[in-house]
Amino acid sequence: MKGGHKFIHECSEACSHKMESLQQISKPFRKTEISSFVSRYIELDHHADDFVLSAMHDLFSGIQYFVKYAKKNSTCTTLYCPITKSSHISFIGYCPHCSSLESHDVWLPNKNERNAIKKNKPQSDEIGTICSEISLELLMLILKEEIEMFNITDRVHDVDAIIKYNHMISLWEIKSSPMFLPSFEIDNLTESTKHIIGDANWSEGSMKMRVPGTKSTAEISFSHESSDLQLESFQLRCIKAMEKDNFQFAKDFVQQWIRNYSEFISGSHSNLKFLRAGGSAKTDDSKNQPGINRTDDLKKASYQLLKYTGHYKALCSKGNIYGGIITNLGPIASRDPYFKGIYDLKIVQGHENSYLCDAILSLDSPVAHLYNPDLRCIMDR
């Protein structure tokens, strides 16, 4: 075991042993160029500060969705748009150019068409990995520099990430999924006056990234590299493209993200809902809500928290083990009766008691769900 890769926890034998076994399946979390891009962006755009991390989570999730998909498939189901004369590779069922807030412009396909163009997402385990890693990286921007973060390498394990700070070890369940994703497009000079669903090969021609529902695009130099397309090099090219024009594309993305978010929390059913990655149903009746806003995830996460309490916290004679949820988008309380009265519960074992959930660390409201005040010390704000 390398130095700096340890979290020695001197405690009761059972607790030390448990932590040692966790250590064996963990590795230090490695940052990528995403966090430095986001730091540079934040310096420029203070205005969007509260939402910038959640928006950036979605922006980079979209980029990585595309690469995961492109690695496995040489063609992709696309939507040809007669206005842009390009084929759109999208994660929503609507034309990312023609669907806008102004209703007269919206192109609404029927249900069958919509199902046919919604197949570009990677598999759900890959989506889980993508969103978890991006969430951790962005979360580090709001945590103290001295914290140490670890990933669990064993995919079936019940802990997704570990944050260590002084004597505190916190165990985290990550529940991240995007709300609003960028789309990609390839020039296509088809002579059609209608929107057409068909296949496109992305190794030919240049490519653009688009903020859905707007005219904002960024040119990506993409040509003829799809066979050995690597995530990092593609991501770097996207970053370079986004840094042109004083980050204009990223600013447009964040702005549209915020508009979409406002509609999401208000429960409104305007046309913006068509641009959302997961539709627009209420918390209780959809499997596609962003962040920690779907019932399935709430139920799974609640059980994990119980397990952290029973299997980890209960063994710790020093009370130094904590547990919570990490997410890109926190619970939207007004729409979520599931949360009230549950997560600030205290569980009593013998004479000791502990919070069921010490915190929900969400990128949009990092200190809003700190149930256990002890954890405040890991935050950098």
Q: Is 56 in the site for Zn ion (CB under 5 A)?
A: no
Interface with Zn ion (CB under 5 A), residue from 81, 136, 163, 241 = 81
| Selected range binding Zn ion among 67-75, 76-84, 117-125, 282-290, rule: CB under 5 A | 76-84
Question: Are the C-beta atoms of 325 and 302 separated by less than 8 Å?
Answer: no
Q: How far is CA 320 from CA 168, 244, 314, 317, in A?
A: 5, 46, 10, 8
Q: Is 316 in the site for Zn ion (CB under 5 A)?
A: yes
Q: Which is nearer to Zn ion, 62 or 213 (CB)?
A: 213
DSSP notation for 273-295: GGGSTT----GGG-S--STT-SH
Q: Which is nearer to Zn ion, 318 or 376 (CB)?
A: 318
Q: Which of 222, 219, 172 is nearest to 200 (CA)?
A: 222
Distance from C-alpha of 326 to C-alpha of 136, rounded to nearest angstrom: 8
**Shortest Å distance, C-beta 320 to Zn ion:** 5
Q: Is 164 in the site for Zn ion (CB under 5 A)?
A: no
Distance from C-alpha of 131 to C-alpha of 178, rounded to nearest angstrom: 8
Sign of the Cα pseudo-torsion (93, 96, 101, 103, in order): negative
| Selected range binding Zn ion among 80-88, 139-147, 203-211, 338-346, rule: CB under 5 A | 80-88
- List the structure tokens of 363: 């990128």
Mutual angle of helices 52-72 and 33-44, in 10-degree steps: 140
Q: In the stretch 5-44, what mask flags binding to Zn ion with x, by CB under 5 A?
A: ------x---x-----------------------------
**Shortest Å distance, C-beta 168 to Zn ion:** 10
Distance from C-alpha of 227 to C-alpha of 205, rounded to nearest angstrom: 14
Interface with Zn ion (CB under 5 A), residue from 97, 164, 175, 294 = 97
Total residues in contact with Zn ion, by rule CB under 5 A: 8
Question: Are the C-beta atoms of 223 and 206 separated by less than 8 Å?
Answer: yes
Interface with Zn ion (CB under 5 A), residue from 38, 52, 98, 272 = 98
**Shortest Å distance, C-beta 15 to Zn ion:** 3
Q: Which is nearer to Zn ion, 35 or 84 (CB)?
A: 84
Using CB under 5 A, list all residues that contact Zn ion: 11, 15, 81, 95, 97-98, 316, 318
